[in-house]
Amino acid sequence: MPEKILNKTACKLSPLGDSAIVITFGNGMEYSIHKKIKLFMDSLEDEPFVGFIECVPAFTNLTVFYDPLIIYKNQKQSNGREDISPYEVVRCILDMKLQGIQEGKKLTHRTVSIPVCYGGKYGPDLEYVARYNNLTTDEVIHIHSTGEYLAYMIGFAPGFPFLGGLSEEIATPRRSSPRMTIPTGAVGIAGMQTGVYPISTPGGWQLIGQTPTKLFLPNINPPSLLQAGDIVKFHPISNKEYEEMVLKEGLQ
């Protein structure tokens, strides 16, 4: 049976300024939408068009950035046309590429294991999350650390992963009053999502633990440990292990 071709008519293309196009694939945080975004992003990066800069995935859309000057010059040199805008050229390219995306193709996911020291001074909201869900703190830790989480997008702060797949058993609303400062590596819950703060920043997620693993890596390319499409697994570590790993990270 031939693979199903992506339904182009279900995608909405919209200009974002004069150097980007947003392609919306659906509504809501769903794996089927993520798959379409990832497949199309991979096709663009594997076979970039002239003038392509980069593409940035989000929950429901993909933003494609391009250089309008390069597009214009290439259009003029290749067929002598000057009456078609770079936006129209890129939109036409994207329309054709969308027709060739095969939804039946399997995605491959990289799995990243992240150690977490749960509770105490590293997870000041762990007890609240447990009370809110009528669980013990050990049950919250077990549920959180045995789950598998898909990184739908990286955003908000450099390297911050928005992770889907959190169990409803430990889903907890954001704090009513956000903290002005959250430490680097804090692991939190907000509704049906979990995530890790890669840098110190204000935030309102419920903090249940902290990791010594660095997620924001400014000296490498790309500067983020996690990428959209990665599968994240958390595993518990003790206070002593956490402190030893922080020391080791600091020495590297």
Task: Determine, yes or no, domain membership for 181.
Answer: yes
Contact (Cβ atoms closer than 8 angstroms) between residue 213 and residue 198: no
How many beta carbons lie within 10 A of that of residue 107, not counting itself?
A: 11
Instruction: Report the alpha-carbon distance of residue 178 to residue 205 in Å, rounded.
Output: 8
User: Do 48 and 146 fall within a single domain?
Assistant: no
User: Do 90 and 116 fall within a single domain?
Assistant: no
pLDDT reading at 76 higher than 90? no
Instruction: Report the alpha-carbon distance of residue 219 to residue 196 in Å, rounded.
Output: 19
Could you tell me the CATH number of the domain that includes residue 247? Answer: 2.40.100.10
The pTM score is: 0.85
Instruction: Report the alpha-carbon distance of residue 211 to residue 241 in Å, rounded.
Output: 10
Task: Determine, yes or no, domain membership for 1.
Answer: no
3-class DSSP state for residue 13? strand
Task: Determine, yes or no, domain membership for 134.
Answer: yes
Instruction: Give whole-number Cα distances, 149 to 81, 166, 223, in Å.
Output: 48, 7, 21
Task: Determine, yes or no, domain membership for 3.
Answer: no
User: Do 39 and 94 fall within a single domain?
Assistant: yes
Task: Determine, yes or no, domain membership for 105.
Answer: no
pLDDT for the residue 191: 96
Domain end position, chosen among 47, 78, 99: 99
- Span 194-205, mean pLDDT? 96
Domain end position, chosen among 41, 75, 99: 99
User: Do 65 and 118 fall within a single domain?
Assistant: no
Instruction: Report the alpha-carbon distance of residue 11 to residue 103 in Å, rounded.
Output: 13
pLDDT for the residue 102: 75
pLDDT for the residue 169: 98
- Span 80-104, mean pLDDT? 85
pLDDT for the residue 1: 33
User: Do 77 and 172 fall within a single domain?
Assistant: no
- Span 108-129, mean pLDDT? 97
User: Do 125 and 181 fall within a single domain?
Assistant: yes
Instruction: Report the alpha-carbon distance of residue 206 to residue 182 in Å, rounded.
Output: 10
Domain count, the chain: 2
Instruction: Report the alpha-carbon distance of residue 3 to residue 74 in Å, rounded.
Output: 34
Domain range for 167: 111-251
DSSP string, 168-237: GGG-BPPPSS-EEEE-TTEEEEEBTEEEE-SS-EEE-SEEEEE--S--B-TTSSSSBS--TT-EEEEEE-
Contact (Cβ atoms closer than 8 angstroms) between residue 20 and residue 90: no
Instruction: Give whole-number Cα distances, 60 to 23, 33, 90, in Å.
Output: 9, 6, 20
Domain end position, chosen among 54, 73, 99: 99
User: Do 126 and 31 fall within a single domain?
Assistant: no
User: Do 63 and 170 fall within a single domain?
Assistant: no
Please classify residue 209 by burial: count the beta carbons closer than 10 Å to its beta carbon, then call 0-12 exposed, 13-18 middle and 19+ buried. buried
250 pLDDT band, cuts 50/70/90, is low
- Span 102-129, mean pLDDT? 92
Q: Please, which residues have CB within 8 angstroms of residue 37's CB and are 6 or more apart in sequence?
A: 25, 57, 58, 60, 61, 62, 228
Task: Determine, yes or no, domain membership for 230.
Answer: yes
User: Do 176 and 151 fall within a single domain?
Assistant: yes
Could you tell me the CATH number of the domain that includes residue 69? Answer: 3.30.1360.40
Q: To which H or E segment does residue 150 belong?
A: strand 149-154
Task: Determine, yes or no, domain membership for 165.
Answer: yes
- Span 20-42, mean pLDDT? 93
User: Do 90 and 132 fall within a single domain?
Assistant: no
User: Do 87 and 146 fall within a single domain?
Assistant: no
User: Do 120 and 67 fall within a single domain?
Assistant: no
Q: To which H or E segment does residue 74 belong?
A: helix 68-79
221 pLDDT band, cuts 50/70/90, is confident
- Span 239-246, mean pLDDT? 94
pLDDT reading at 3 higher than 60? no
Chain segment 157-194, per-residue pLDDT in tens: 889 999 999 999 999 999 999 999 999 999 999 999 99
Percentage of the chain surpassing pLDDT 70?
A: 94
Task: Determine, yes or no, domain membership for 150.
Answer: yes
Instruction: Give whole-number Cα distances, 42 to 48, 58, 62, 160, 211, in Å.
Output: 10, 14, 11, 21, 30
100 pLDDT band, cuts 50/70/90, is confident
